[in-house]
Amino acid sequence: MISTGLYIHVPFCSGKCWYCDFYSICGSAYEMDTFLRAIKEEIQLIRRQVLNHEEICLETIFIGGGTPTSLEPDQIRRLGEIIDENFQKTPDCEFSIEANPESLSPVKMSTIREIGVNRLSIGTQTFNPGLLKAIGRRHTGEQTIRAMDLARSTGIKNISLDLIFGLPDQTLDQFQMDLTTAATLGPEHLSCYALTLEPGTKLYETMHPRTDADEILLVRMFHLAHDFLTAIGFEHYEISNYALPGRRCRHNFRYWQNLDYMGLGPAAAGFLNRSRYKNVSDFSEYWKSLLTQDRRPIESEEHLADHEFAGETAMLNLRTHEGIVRSKFQAQTGYDPFEFFAEPIRKFVDLGLLEIQEDRIFLSLRG
Ligand code: SF4
């Protein structure tokens, strides 16, 4: 029996946000049905070709995208059935789904609960109407508040809100207002991402390159989120993530611990048997590969040598508050991090970017 995590990338969105470079398309009902058939096939191929037909027990599930809640209720139900038919779940399996506020309805929320989802991540970004418009979002702050109420009334006890800072002409006060509003809603988890300007997006054209003043403001916003959220009881457990005690996202924590997970769907990445793979970022290519050629839709795959695995694990561990824990790292990779990374550790400690405490190496707040 293999214990692992599962990520499913649902590639459908009702439009394109102006900062987004995730793979997404506006899908028809037929394309969504095709997607579900392809997912089923992809699971079979991975089980046959990679996992030797072994039984799989899921510790975490994360349905992301795209906008998973752009699927209709019966499609969400079918996705739940596909998961149940092919995997076992641990009794405390964390089952997350991402949702955009405008895509949630009472029926969809009930369906999400029916298939076993116990954690909801709401794409909030900001509550400010002008800023929502300025980044091409298609919902209002009020809709986010209603989505949160709906989730609570349907029995979801673990909710995360995503915020973005560094939006076009956003002031420190406006970001403080977003943090305050988000905190008032009482989520168990908050993600606060700095806006990244990705080539090819609308905002890249208008905001790139950032000025020094913009960069300084971003740093001030990062510190504002840290100070405000930790003061009201959130743990700053990863660069961009805050959780109430016991409410860290266990699925994302898998990534930062460099544990394996199965990734399904167009543009999804996965990490199985020390091989990191990435699926094609093209829906037609994706489903044709699976449904007409009986072939996994992989665009790239790389098997990590031991030293590469250790290097990746260190980089990922450093994103977290714990950082690299010597005994854990040694058990996982076979390398003593204090010896293997002696040189860079010395350099970054001198620069004030890394700190060492007993057997832990972690980023300083500045780092
Ligand atoms: S809803 Fe999410 S995935 Fe879809 S375009 Fe906007 S940011 Fe990208």
Q: What is the DSSP string of 120-172?
A: EEEEEE-S-HHHHHHTT--S-HHHHHHHHHHHHHTT---EEEEEEES-TT--H
pLDDT band at 118 (very low <50, low <70, confident <90, very high): very high
Which has the closest alpha carbon to 256: 363, 97, 335? 363
Distance (angstroms) between ligand 1 centre and the Cα of 337 equals 38
Nearest CA to ligand 1 atom 8: 20
pLDDT in tens, 218-274: 999 999 999 999 999 999 999 999 999 999 999 999 999 999 999 999 999 999 999
Collapsed DSSP state (helix, strand, coil) of residue 356: strand
CB of 20 within 6 A of ligand 1: the answer is yes
State the pLDDT at residue 31: 98
CB 62 within 8 A of CB 7: yes
Largest CA distance in the chain: 58
Pocket test for ligand 1, best of 22, 102, 162 (most atoms within 8 A of CB): 22
Q: What is the mean pLDDT of residues 336-349?
A: 97
Confidence tier at 123 by pLDDT (50, 70, 90): very high
Q: 147 and 104 in contact (C-beta within 8 Å)?
A: yes
pLDDT score at 290 = 98
DSSP notation for 53-83: T--EEEEEEEEEES-GGGS-HHHHHHHHHHH
Band of the pLDDT at 351, cuts 50, 70, 90? very high
pLDDT tens digits for 174-216?
999 999 999 999 999 999 999 999 999 999 999 999 999 999 9
Interface TM-score (ipTM) > 0.95: yes
pLDDT in tens, 37-61: 999 999 999 999 999 999 999 999 9
Give the Cα separation of 307 and 341 in Å (integer): 11
Domain 2-256 superfamily per CATH: Aldolase class I (3.20.20.70)
Q: Provide the token pair at 322.
A: 């714990």
The domain limits of the chain are 2-256, 310-363
Residues 262 and 6: beta-carbon distance below 8 Å: yes
pLDDT at 263: 98
CA 264 to chain centre: 14
Please work out whether the CB of residue 11 comes within 6 Å of at least one atom of ligand 1: no
Q: What is the mean pLDDT of residues 69-85?
A: 98
Supply the pLDDT for residue 74.
98
For residue range 131-175, list pLDDT tens digits in order. 999 999 999 999 999 999 999 999 999 999 999 999 999 999 999
